[in-house]
Amino acid sequence: MTGFSEMPGQDPLSAGYNPEHLEGFEADPLPPLHGADDPGRTLGIIGLVLAIFFNIIGLIVSIVAYNKSRKAGYSNGFAVAGIIVGAVLLILAGVLTLLLLGTGLALFGTVSN
């Protein structure tokens, strides 16, 4: 005999035969590893990248991504990181702008005739 009958439990006359096990050899698909159903995941990644280069835009996109993920019941680390990075860099840019503006006024604002 050849084929499936050589495997134990696969011969219709054997005690361990299970016809449901033989039908189709199909298995249920595995769930995605990283929550592919999360509607804000990709937007969170985009928000994080934008937060590095364009602070305000990245901060807003990250907040939107975080809210979308939260409403769907997911946690979105990329969006949280984008919010933190965007806020910190926005504050640093504001402080640097004030320092440069103050320095410029101090140097060029007191020009006498």
Domain ranges of the chain: 39-108
Q: How confident is the model at residue 35 (pLDDT cuts 50, 70, 90)?
A: low
Whether residue 83 has pLDDT greater than 70: yes
Whether residue 41 has pLDDT greater than 60: yes
Report d(CA 107, CA 111) in Å as an integer.
Answer: 8
Q: How confident is the model at residue 104 (pLDDT cuts 50, 70, 90)?
A: confident
pTM of the model: 0.62
Q: Which long-range contacts (CB under 8 A, 24 or more apart) does 48-57 make?
A: 48/78, 48/79, 48/81, 48/82, 48/85, 50/82, 50/86, 51/82, 51/83, 51/85, 51/86, 51/89, 52/85, 52/89, 55/86, 55/89, 55/90, 55/93, 56/86, 56/90
Average pLDDT in the 15-29 region?
Answer: 61
